[in-house]
C-alpha cells in the first residue's frame, strides 16, 4: 500500500534533509494527479546519508523491480550510507510503499542535483514537519529532459498553472 504521507513523516522524523520531486512536487505546484511513488533528492552530506540509511532499514527498504534476482545480488545497498554516498539512484519498496531516491537527474546540472535544487526549493509545512519541494523551474527542466508521456502532460498542466 502506498502511503506517501507516512513516508514523508518517517523521513522528516529521522531528520533526513531532502527535496521532493516527481508527482508529489507536481501536485504542490497546482496539478494534483495520482502518483505511484515518492521521489526525493537527498542532501549528499555523509551525516544526512547516514540518517537516510538508518530510516531505510526501519522502513524495510528493498530494491524494486529485481525480477528473478535477490536484492542481495545488486551492487549497491541503499541501507549502507557508504554505498548511498556513491551517488546512485535507487527505486525501493518500503513498508509505506515505493520510494525513489534520486541523486542524479536529467535536466539538472551540476550533479549531484541536491546543491542545485535545495536553494530554490519551496518550504512546505506538512504534519508539523518542514519539507522542501522542488521549485517550479527545476521541475519543468526535469520534466522536459525526461520527456515521457506523463512528464509531457505534467509540463502542459504546469505551464498553464
Q: How far is CA 107 from CA 71, 89, 122, in A?
A: 29, 15, 19
> Mean pLDDT over residues 81-93, rounded?
89
pLDDT value, residue 127: 87
Of 23-32, 36-45, 81-90, 131-140, the least confident: 81-90
Q: How far is CA 33 from CA 26, 85, 91, 92, in A?
A: 8, 32, 20, 21
**pLDDT value at 73 more than 60:** no
> Mean pLDDT over residues 2-31, rounded?
95
Residue 53 or residue 76, greater confidence: 53
Q: How far apart are CA 9 and CA 124, in angstroms?
A: 13
CATH number of the domain located at residue range(s) 4-159 in this protein:
3.30.460.40
**pLDDT value at 161 more than 70:** no
**pLDDT value at 66 more than 90:** no
**pLDDT value at 75 more than 80:** no
Q: How far apart are CA 28 and CA 20, in angstroms?
A: 10
Of 23-32, 43-52, 60-69, the least confident: 60-69
All three cell numbers of 7, joined, read 513516508
pLDDT value, residue 98: 96
Beta bridge partners, 99, equal: 38, 92
Q: How far apart are CA 161 and CA 159, in angstroms?
A: 5
- pLDDT, tens digit (0-9, with 9 covering 90-100), for 107-144: 999 889 999 999 999 999 988 888 999 999 999 999 99
pLDDT value, residue 136: 96
> Mean pLDDT over residues 37-49, rounded?
97
pLDDT value, residue 128: 85
**pLDDT value at 74 more than 70:** no
Amino acid at each position: 500500500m502506498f502511503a506517501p504521507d507516512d513516508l514523508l513523516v518517517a523521513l522528516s522524523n529521522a531528520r533526513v534533509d531532502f527535496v521532493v520531486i516527481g508527482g508529489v512536487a507536481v501536485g504542490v505546484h497546482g496539478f494534483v494527479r495520482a502518483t505511484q511513488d515518492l521521489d526525493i533528492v537527498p542532501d549528499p552530506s555523509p551525516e544526512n546519508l547516514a540518517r537516510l540509511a538508518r530510516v531505510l532499514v526501519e522502513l524495510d527498504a528493498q530494491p524494486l523491480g529485481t525480477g528473478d534476482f535477490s536484492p542481495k545480488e545488486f551492487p549497491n545497498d541503499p541501507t549502507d550510507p557508504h554505498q548511498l554516498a556513491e551517488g546512485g539512484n535507487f527505486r525501493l519498496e518500503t513498508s509505506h510503499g515505493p520510494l525513489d531516491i534520486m541523486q542524479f537527474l536529467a535536466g539538472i546540472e551540476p550533479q549531484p542535483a541536491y546543491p542545485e535544487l535545495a536553494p530554490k526549493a519551496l518550504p512546505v509545512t506538512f504534519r508539523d514537519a518542514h519539507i522542501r519541494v522542488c521549485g517550479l523551474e527545476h521541475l519543468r527542466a526535469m520534466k522536459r529532459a525526461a520527456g515521457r508521456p506523463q512528464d509531457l502532460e505534467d509540463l502542459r498542466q504546469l505551464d498553464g498553472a
